């Protein structure tokens, strides 16, 4: 059975998660906390890798298998702009 994303998360990044699915990433776990200012995370896995998309204090982060590669590619940082974050992750995956 596929993992169900909390509605609040789907509202925020649902289309982005659909784009990640095009790269073979499927949600495996997630958590949303209304008590923590709407912070959340979504764990995703592909056949060969995993990543965690996280929103904390209105900033977006990605954690993935290879932190050194993320740092070299410029995505090992917090993003204030969701659109910029999503594009950086998609560009990173496209370059892989």
Which residues share a beta bridge with 40? Answer: 32, 55
pLDDT at 43 over 80: yes
Q: Other C-beta atoms within 10 Å of 70: how many?
A: 20
In the chain, the percentage of residues whose pLDDT exceeds 70 is 90
pLDDT at 70: 58
pLDDT at 66 over 70: no
Residue 96 lies in a domain: no
Residue range(s) defining the domain that contains residue 56: 7-90
Residue 66 lies in a domain: yes
Q: Which residue has the tokens 């954690």?
A: 63
What is the rounded distance in angstroms from the CA atom of residue 2 to the CA atom of residue 80?
A: 30
Residue 2 lies in a domain: no
Q: What is the per-residue pLDDT across 45-60, written as a single tens digit (0 to 9) for each?
A: 998 888 999 999 999 9
**In this structure, are residues 84 and 93 in contact, taking their beta carbons and an 8 Å threshold?**
no
Residue 22 lies in a domain: yes
Question: How many structural domains comprise the chain?
Answer: 1
Helices first, then strands: H and E counts in the chain: 3, 4
């Amino acid at each position: 059975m596929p993992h169900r994303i909390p509605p609040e998360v789907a509202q925020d990044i649902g289309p982005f998660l659909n784009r990640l699915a095009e790269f073979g990433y499927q949600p495996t776990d997630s958590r949303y906390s209304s008590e923590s200012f709407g912070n959340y995370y979504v764990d995703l896995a592909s056949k060969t890798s995993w990543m965690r998309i996280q929103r904390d204090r209105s900033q977006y982060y990605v954690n993935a298998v290879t932190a050194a590669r993320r740092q070299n590619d410029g995505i090992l940082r917090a993003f204030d702009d969701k659109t910029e974050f999503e594009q950086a992750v998609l560009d990173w995956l496209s370059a892989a």
